Structures are given as C-alpha cells and as structure tokens.
Structure 1
Amino acid sequence: MGRVLIIGGGVAGPAAALALRKAGLEPAVYEAYPVGGEDVGAFLTIMNNGMDALAAIDAAEAVEAVSFPATTVEFLDGAGRLLAKQHIAGQISTSHDPRTLRRSALYRALTEEAERRGIPVSHGKRLVDAVVDGDRVVAVFEDGSEAVGDVLIGADGIGSRVRSLIDPAAPTPRYTGLNVLYGYTDDPALPVSTDSYRMIQGKRAFFGYTTSPRGETFWFARLPGPELTRDQINGTTVDGWRRRAAEFFTADNTPSKRIIEATWEEIIGGNAYDVPSTPSWHRGPMVLVGDAAHAASPAAGQGASMALEDAVVLAQCLRDLPRDEAFEAYVRIRRERVERLVATSANDGATQQSEVLSEQLNDRQQSRAWLYGHHIDWAEPVA
C-alpha cells in the first residue's frame, strides 16, 4: 500500500495529504472546483482540538500565519445583558488556542503546505465514479481522466459522491431548520470584540461576531426558516441578505442589526445541514473523512476541527496497520466522538433558539473537556 487518492481539496483533503505524507505514504489530492472548495467566502474557527491535530502534522504554524485568535466567548441576550463570559474551552488547559480565518485562507494555507511538501494537487477533477480492481481503485473524473491508487479517501464534504459510492443507501444530509449567513464589515463606528466571540441570543435569531486585529468585523447569523432552494440562494443579492437578516434583530437592544446594516460588499448565505450517522464509513479500498462521514450543524463550531482530527487519525491507522484493519481501527476510534459532537451541536442549535440561563451556559462550557481537550499523539502506535 502506497498511493492514496484524496477526493476533495477543502479542509479534510489537504490535511489528510499532509498526515499521509508524514506517515510515509504517497497522497495526491483531486479537487472538483477550479480554484478550491465551496463556501470560500465564509469563515470558521479552528478550535483548540483542531489546532492540536494540525500541530501533530506540523501544519499549525502555517494556519496561525493566516488567522487570528479569538479565545474568549461572551454570551448576551436580546436585551444586551451579559449572561456569561469565559475562555472558549472553559477552565480546560489546552496546548493551543482557537484561531479564526476565512475558509479560502485555510484552503490556501493547507494546499500550499501540501505542495511545498511535494504532494500533487489537481483542480477541476470532479469524481463521477470509482471502480474497484482487485486491491486497487480507479477514480474516474468528469473530464474523462482517471487515477489509480491503493486507497481512495472521500474528503468531498457533506454532499459526498464517495459516500454514495461506498453505500448507495447512505443517509442524505438533514436540514437543521436554520439559514446561516456570514458577513464582513470594516465600519470603524461598530463596537469591537477583539480576541473574543460575542454570542447574542436575540428574540428571534442567533448572532455572533468577533473583530480581527485589522479592525474587520466577522459576523454570522442563524435564522430559523424554511430550507432555501439553490436558485433562491444564488439569486439573493447582498442587499437582499442584509435586509432579510436585519429584520430578525429589529426588536433587540444589541449591535446585531447595526453590524448587518453596515455590511455592503460581502454576505454569504445558505442552509445548515447535518449528517447524524453514516452506517458505512468504508468499503473495500474506499473510506470517508470529515463532513463526508459525519457533518454537524455549525452551532458548536467544530466541523473543521473534527475533519482535521479524522485526517490525522486515519493516517496513523494506515501507517501502522494493513488497510482493512486500518479502516476498522479508524472507525472504532472516531465514530463515538464525532457522533457525540453532531448530537451536541444539534442540541446547541436548538438551545440557541430559546432562553438560556447564565448558569447553564457556564455549565455547558465546563462540561466539554472531552471536546476541547482532545489530544493526538502522533508517535503513539495504533493497536
């Protein structure tokens, strides 16, 4: 076993390539889009455990260089009252703090690091089929080209083609009841929240923001409502998103509406989905990582971090065990943790649509040592 085909160049794909190269294998990344993955305009936070996973494959510094810290979280209600304030990981001691950055910046950082380590990354390669030929697998792309490998990793996101090839009866993504918007504004008149996420449970919807060192406000809004069609999403202008979002926060005594109305150039909107459980993570030489295997709603902010953990653990398993045993070990190590996260995130999303007491918020953060304090020891062999 040596050559590994990685389908998807978002978060999990390049991370898996870096981990596999460190494990002594020969990965190659195939991305469907011409320049990178989807949602390039959105932003994310890589949590403590995600940064720990990056450190295990010597990639933390590359991500830190294009991101900024946001280590504290403040919870407010729609009246502007502060309910709780604490470190994102509560009182848990971790080796790494969370980092915030645009998805596009993360894609570039991981892809450039992969290329720097001699890993080939091909764009415009949309997978249409994968044919198992003995112990090998042939990836067939939309442009008519093919690639042959010993392993094929589906890192192709929540709408994974590889998931359906592994199991045609695999569950489809579930709409969580939330439309999610991301926006950016550099209006200097807005209140700043440096090194902190300000989370606001308004009367009708949930809003959060943080301020970059350059004074740019990164914000998101989770708006309850019906699932939007692709045409509705593509046909909504920045002004349309702004007016739709601002309406949800008119009755609140918080900065949410002001921040939204100060955003003129870039707002990205869409639906939030999750995949609570995928029965089959692998079949033959094919295996899933990240959102292709398990997708959480964005409420817990752990999607990217869990994908990074997956990538590192899978590489460790393939380093230490024969392929079939490696896949079994990988699922055994990862399934319970990620499915617990999906359930936790779904609960957070539901809780954020109702009144929450400050004591509940403090207890919630303190109870998550299992989540933020997770550590991967690269040198530890997989049994």
Structure 2
Amino acid sequence: MERRRAVDTALVIGGGIAGPVVAAALRRAGVEVTVYEAYAQAADGVGGMLMVAPNGLDAFHAIGADGVAGLGQPIGTMVMEDFRGRKLFAFDGLPDLPASRVMWRSDLYRVLQDRAVELGAEVEYGKRLVDVREHPDSITAVFADGSTATADLLVGADGIRSAVRGLIDPTAPGPAPVGLLGLGGWGPAVPGTGGTDVMHFAQGKRAFFGYWATDDGTAWFSNLPHKGAMSAAEAAQVPTDEWLRRLRAAHEGDHPAELVLDSARDLQVIGALEVLPAVRHWYRGRMVLVGDSAHAPSPSSGQGVSITAESAVQLAKCLRDLPDPATAFAAYERLRRPRTDKIIAAAARTNSRKAAGPVARAIGRAITPVLTRTVFTPKRIFGDVHAHTIDWEAPVAP
C-alpha cells in the first residue's frame, strides 16, 4: 500500500550541517525542498575538526551520503590517561561497528551539500529569516531582504542560536556556557601514541587534554576551566601568544601536553563551550526543529553531528509515513527526545568532571582504577549510543 505523506513541500532554514542532512532526507521521502542559508555563500573551509560516531555514519548512510565514511581518519581506539601520560584504560570500540572518524567540518559539509543537491534540493544564500506568516494549510518565511517563500512546513535547522526556535516559543532558552573553553591545534609527533587510529584523553592537573597522531605530527585539543561566556569572536581578540601562555601554564607538568604545547602551531580557539538547555517545544503549527536548534550537547559528548543526522532522518521518515504535520511532529519528538536528553545529560556529567577543582580531580584519579574494572566497559559506555540504527524502510507508527 502506498504511504500517505504529510507534506509535499518544505522550507529548511539553515545551510550548515543539519540543513543539508534534513534536505537530503526529505528528498528521499519525496518532499520538494529548498534550503535557505543566512550567509551569502557556502560554508566551504569554515570550522574546525569534529567526530562522527558509528551511529552518525549509519544515519548518513540512510540518506546515501556514504562519502562521509571516507573522510578524515578512523579512530578505532580511545585511551584514557592520567596527567603523567600513563594509560588507565582503553576502548577498542564495539564489535561489528565501524570506527568513529575525526574530520574537518568543511569536508563533511561539502559531502552533505553535494548529496542534498544531487537528490534535487534547492539552495539559496543570503536569506536570513526574520519572521513567519502562518496559514491554515501552509507557512510563509519572511527574510531580511524582503523576500518570502511559502511551503507546507518549515524546518528550523539553524543551529544553537536558532531563529526558528524563538518563533516557535519566544521563551525558549538560548545556549549556556558549560564552564570550559575549547582550544586546539597541531604540534610535533609524540612517541608511543599507537598510530593514527588511536585518540588519547587525559585529565591533567588543571585542564583536560586530548590528542591523536596524524601523518605529519599531532592534533590536539584542550578544555580550560572558564566561568562565563566567551564567543569565538571575543576569543579571537586574545593574541595567540597569550593563549599559548595560558595553555602552557594550565598543562605545566602534564605529559605529553607539555611537550606538544611547547611547539604548538596553527592554534584554533573555539571560545566557551556551550550546551542548549532543555527545549520545551520542538514544534508548533507547521514549524519544527532539528539538530542543534532542538538538542545541542556540548562537544564533550562526541555526538553533536551524529544525533543531528539521526534526528533529520527520523523527522523525514515521520513526515513520509504519517498523514499530517501535527501527527508526524509528535511521533518525531516521541522517538527522539528520550535519546537526545540522555546524551546531553551524559555530556553534562563529563563537563563537570573536566571543570572540577583540584580535590575532585584527585578523587577521580583515585577511583578510576576501580571503575575500569567494573563500570568503564565499551558496551556500558558506548553500547546504546554507538549501536543505534534507523531503518529507513521501516514504517513509522503514529
């Protein structure tokens, strides 16, 4: 029996990562889609590095974006270390799942953008949403340049500072800092890292450090405790030499952070890491949120991109299989919110450990050996998250 689709046309607001994914998924569901990006040009070359986990690769496969699985480098093993560089425990991933991959955001964007266009999605740039006009059977987007566009529904894929979220609920929360700054860069090779498929994480004496081998050295990131907000623009006003001074002071005595930072180059400063507090309303009328506009865990989760892709695929399935937007949106939120809430809560606990004071850090180092023998197993930590899959062909029940 032919499935009855909830809508025939859609406007997607936001052309970053979430926008092309949901556009491609909607096209696979038979919906005509146009993506409206606020910036005047595509996001080629924009952004730093990110991780796509096995569940994210599965979601990208559902829209035919299998090129993602060839980007960057695989990370098959994750090693937790102390501030002396001694291994505490390691995770080799779960059987029968592909390795996570670390890649440039701009490379991921290009694959997703190309896939959405290949499937027939249209993309318009320089279209910043300022308002909507709601009608009984359609919705009209109003852009800052005075132009408008009308379709059966509007998808907010416009990130953690979503304009659509505010239109759905003017009292919706905005992003909040988690108490950490994000910095990263490249440095010299570190002996004994175990190859380019191993990522190391170390809770230093004063800050958290992560690193992995590349073909020509070491890629690294650091999370410095920091109270309050700091935008990327504000962080960029601080001279690189001053950031390096702060990093070296924070990681003094930490190995191998001290070695890597001594010759660090090409510093990238993200600013304050942020999380989106719980959003009460994911949809209203003919508007719905997807990705960071609805659920944005901090980068500590390693899941931001992956759960964005999952939600985009699930939303498209609901709109494909259910008879009207209200029913489709309700099913979408019912299927997605428990999972995203759980991942966001886990990331919050990780952030608390990273931002902990010296006493809490010392306690953590003392109990870690016990936890590695009881709680810290790959299946317990990653099982429900990494093994998640969405069957594109399976119909959605209301």
> TM-score when scaled to structure 2?
0.89
Secondary structure at 1:265 match in 2:
strand
Contact 2:236 2:269 in 1 (8 A): no
Q: Within 5 A, what are the aligned runs for 1:15-54?
A: 15-36=21-42, 40-54=46-60
**Residue among 153, 171, 175 paired with 2:173:** 171
Which has the greater radius of gyration? 2
Contact 1:242 1:267 in 2 (8 A): no
State the Cα distance separating 1:243 from its structure 2 match. Answer: 2.3
Q: What is the letter of the counterpart of residue 339 of structure 1? A: D
Write the deviation string for residues 293-343 of structure 1: whole angstroms up to 9, x where unpaired: 011122121111110100000000000012110000000000010001100
**Residue among 73, 77, 80 paired with 1:72:** 77
Which residue in the other structure is 1:151 paired with? 153
Which residue in the other structure is 1:109 paired with? 111
**Residue among 101, 107, 114 paired with 1:99:** 101
Secondary structure at 1:114 match in 2:
helix
State the Cα distance separating 1:215 from its structure 2 match. Answer: 2.7
Closer/same/farther in 2, CA of residues 234 and 128 from structure 1, 3 Å limit: farther
1:219 to 2:220 alignment: yes
**68-77 vs 125-134, greater mean Cα deviation:** 125-134
Q: Within 5 A, what are the aligned runs for 1:1-383?
A: 1-36=7-42, 40-59=46-65, 61-87=66-92, 89=93, 92-185=94-187, 187-188=188-189, 192=193, 193-212=195-214, 214-230=215-231, 232-252=234-254, 254-321=255-322, 322-352=324-354, 353=356, 354=361, 355-356=364-365, 357-361=368-372, 363-364=375-376, 365-368=378-381, 369-383=383-397
Task: State how far apart, in whole Å, the 1-side matches of 2:384 and 2:177 are.
Answer: 27
State the Cα distance separating 1:155 from its structure 2 match. Answer: 0.9
Write the deviation string for residues 180-230 of structure 1: whole angstroms up to 9, x where unpaired: 112234x45776541011101100110111223x33532211110123444
Secondary structure at 1:118 match in 2:
coil
Task: State how far apart, in whole Å, the 1-side matches of 2:77 and 2:170 are.
Answer: 43
Closer/same/farther in 2, CA of residues 308 and 120 from structure 1, 3 Å limit: same
Which residues of structure 1 form unaligned runs of 5+? none
Which residues of structure 2 form unaligned runs of 5+? 1-6
Secondary structure at 2:266 match in 1:
coil
Q: What is the letter of the counterpart of residue 65 of structure 1? A: G
Alignment: residue pair count: 376
Task: State how far apart, in whole Å, the 1-side matches of 2:283 and 2:39 are.
Answer: 24
Closer/same/farther in 2, CA of residues 370 and 148 from structure 1, 3 Å limit: same
> TM-score when scaled to structure 1?
0.92
Task: State how far apart, in whole Å, the 1-side matches of 2:132 and 2:217 are.
Answer: 44
Secondary structure at 1:367 match in 2:
helix
Task: State how far apart, in whole Å, the 1-side matches of 2:272 and 2:352 are.
Answer: 15
Task: State how far apart, in whole Å, the 2-side matches of 1:359 and 1:280 are.
Answer: 41
Task: State how far apart, in whole Å, the 1-side matches of 2:217 and 2:146 are.
Answer: 44
